[in-house]
Amino acid sequence: MEQDMSLFQYDLIRNDLLRELLGSEHEQILYWGGKTIARKYELHTLEDMIDFFLQAGWGSLQIQKDKPQIKILELQGPWMGKEDKRCYHLEAGFLAQQIEHIHSLISEATYETKKKSVIFHIHIDKHDPVNQ
């Protein structure tokens, strides 16, 4: 019950209040917010990202594909299902920035929602190094 209450509180802020405050720019601002959080909490491995997601209460992240130019990660959480209406741009921005930091190459993340999970596709541009 306690976890349900904290999920409810989180959903109120994230899905209701932020969407109302940010309006039509909600998804873009969350994406850049995720990138900002990633800069503050720089990680060094995919395993570190998995641990971070658990600690942040963002869900259970699993590696589906780990190739030089694409990473595919699956996110699951107890709130997911047909009632889940949240966007996952915050998490996508966070993952894109972490991968960019690790590889020093410009990276971008997109996602698709499934019935009980979210699949993130992080694309790494091997021809576009990050300016250090």
Confidence of residue 1 (pLDDT cuts 50, 70, 90): very low
Domains held by the chain: number: 1
Q: What is the pTM of this model?
A: 0.88
Asked if residue 8 belongs to a domain, the reply is no
CATH number of the domain where residue 116 is located: 3.30.1380.20
- pLDDT digits over 54-79, tens only? 999 899 999 999 999 999 999 998 87
Domain that holds residue 116: 27-129
Asked if residue 99 belongs to a domain, the reply is yes
Asked if residue 34 belongs to a domain, the reply is yes
Asked if residue 88 belongs to a domain, the reply is yes
Asked if residue 43 belongs to a domain, the reply is yes
Asked if residue 19 belongs to a domain, the reply is no
pLDDT of residue 120: 98
DSSP states of 54-91 as a string?
HHHTS-EEEEEEE-SSEEEEEEE-TT-STT-----HHH
User: How far is the first Cα of the chain from the last one, in angstroms, to the nearest whole number?
Assistant: 47
